[in-house]
A and B are shown apart, each in its own frame.
Chain A
Amino acid sequence: MSKHNVSTVDPKKASRRKFLKGMAAGAAAAALPVKALAQGSSGFMTYGSWEEYFQKNFQEMTPEEVKATLKRLEEKYTKQYGKKVTVKATPPMENVLFGYALDLSRCIGCRRCVYACVKENNQSRRDPQIHYIHVLRFENGEMEFEKSERYYNPEKVPEEGHYYMPVQCQHCRKAPCVKACPVRATWTEDDGIVVVDYNWCIGCRYCMAACPYEGRAFNWLDPKLPPEELNPDTHYLGNRPRMRGVVEKCTFCIQRTREGRYPACVEACPVGARKFGNLLDPESEIRYILENHRVFRLKEDLLTEPKFYYFFG
């Protein structure tokens, strides 16, 4: 997790921080543009505190810094949402590489997974509406994405003559989004999950342009997450509340899967089309699928090497 071992507690730093604080207050009083920035939730005041503003990239934090960051965020979210929120940083398990498989002959396009994901991962409900899973409807025999339909809304699904293909982050082994990020705010963890440090993200959206699967979403406005709908069991690299101007994505429900549980979409699927497990464990469900069913990956020609497989069970 943390790559550098920098000692953190420096008595001089605290006083410097205080000094900077005083400076800023003075500047805000004197200069109008800065005052405008400080108003409401816009500008750098969205950071809330100096500690947050000067927070390091998660990968470069020492264990102590991680601990302090989690504590600060827990306090912030608890205050913001009026209920106890926990922020974990559960590390990857040893000898685990997560993989996902989806049975296209089972999927009926009911979108239960989409909304279970939104609920579990604290996405903005509207303005912007953020979904990690896009369920595409194709006519039978068709595989052109341009000819797919995602706004279908019949009385009942499945519809005659169609099949459905849910698409989400494919957790590529050679993730183009990770290569594209100019500030290394997104990376692949040791268990294969592609994550984002929301506090490090600068919102340039290069990763979104690079992703061939529409696996990422951007918070154009302040996310709208009613406190009563907040899932308080959160992970730093996963479903903790996000802010305006950052990119977010599917993390295989990192807050669940690193504790052994299935992702929310797997448990929501009424037809059992979604399968998840450890690619390094020969006894796992996912390995059984790879060894006994014909699988394919989306846009293999792009050499992104997804860990998300589709099959016909």
Chain B
Amino acid sequence: MKRRWVLVAALVCLFARPGLRAAGAEEEVFAVPPPPLSEDYYPCAENCHNDQETDPTPRVLEEEHTDIKLHHAEQFRWCLDCHDADNRDKLHLQSGEKIDFSESYRLCGQCHGAKYRDWKKGIHGKRTGYWNGKKQYLLCANCHNPHNPRFQPLKPEPPPKVPGSGTLKSHAKGKHLKEQTHDGGEEK
């Protein structure tokens, strides 16, 4: 009899902590740098949205936030699909759960599952720190603008010197080498 009670107690313990179990599987928290929020807007609720009525009609904003050009499956999506209508300082998942901007990877991961899986393992995205220890993660939004997520082109660092352009004079004198133009795109 006593043994049965112990069993019941153990089972109760196991099922009474769904939050903890979920934390292991789904809500794993990653230490990330602060999300790149614009100081002009954030905190959004306090600055503006508390005083405004929410218009839930999908539309292109013409008065505010005109600097944001949505280029992220914009035909299917608008602001309130990710930003929470009731609390603008939060995002919401498909499930309705509200999350902080610092957990935005969970929102991105709803569609980009494969990338999210790789990101969690340290494969997608930049990591710094220790290969055998603590690693610094980045949020998706630290590299990808959520409203226009394609990684923005960069100016490349200078190309290497063409052999013979230094003071190795015997090479530099070779006329055939001087005639070469290695300035990239123009050759094509």
Do the two chains belong together in a single complex?
yes
Tell me if B168 and A127 are in contact (CB < 8 A): yes
Tell me if A260 and B159 are in contact (CB < 8 A): no
Tell me if B128 and A270 are in contact (CB < 8 A): no
Contacts of A262 in B (CB 8 A): 127-131
Contacts of B183 in A (CB 8 A): 151, 153
| Per-residue A-contact encoding for B36-53, CB less than 8 Å = 1, 0 else | 000000000000000000
Q: Looking at the complex, which one of B153, B157, B182 makes contact with A111 (CB distance below 8 Å)?
A: B157
Please give the distance in Å from A251's CB to the nearest CB on chain B.
15
Tell me if B123 and A153 are in contact (CB < 8 A): no
Q: In the complex, which range does the number of interface residues on chain B fall in? A: 35 or more
Tell me if B124 and A272 are in contact (CB < 8 A): yes
Please give the distance in Å from A106's CB to the nearest CB on chain B.
8
| Per-residue A-contact encoding for B165-184, CB less than 8 Å = 1, 0 else | 01110000000000000111
Tell me if B131 and A134 are in contact (CB < 8 A): no
Alpha-carbon gap, A232 to B153, bound state (A): 34
Contacts of B124 in A (CB 8 A): 272, 313
CB within 8 Å of A: which B147-162 residues: 151, 153-162
Q: In the complex, which range does the number of interface residues on chain A fall in? A: 35 or more
Q: Looking at the complex, which one of A127, A150, A270 makes contact with B167 (CB distance below 8 Å)?
A: A127
Tell me if B125 and A272 are in contact (CB < 8 A): yes
Tell me if A153 and B184 are in contact (CB < 8 A): yes
| Per-residue B-contact encoding for A245-276, CB less than 8 Å = 1, 0 else | 00000000000010011100011011110011
Alpha-carbon gap, A152 to B160, bound state (A): 9
- Interface class of chain A by DSSP: loop
- A128 sits at the interface (CB 8 A): yes
Alpha-carbon gap, A288 to B128, bound state (A): 17
Tell me if A149 and B160 are in contact (CB < 8 A): no
Contacts of A131 in B (CB 8 A): 160
Contacts of A238 in B (CB 8 A): none
- A156 sits at the interface (CB 8 A): yes
Alpha-carbon gap, A111 to B155, bound state (A): 10
Tell me if B159 and A151 are in contact (CB < 8 A): yes
Tell me if A277 and B131 are in contact (CB < 8 A): yes
Residues of B within 8 A of A (CB): 118, 121-133, 138, 143, 151, 153-162, 166-168, 182-185, 187
- Of the A-B pairs whose beta carbons lie under 8 Å apart in the complex, a sample of 15, sorted by A's number, is A108-B154, A111-B156, A111-B157, A127-B167, A129-B160, A129-B166, A131-B160, A151-B160, A152-B156, A153-B158, A154-B184, A157-B153, A262-B127, A267-B128, A272-B126
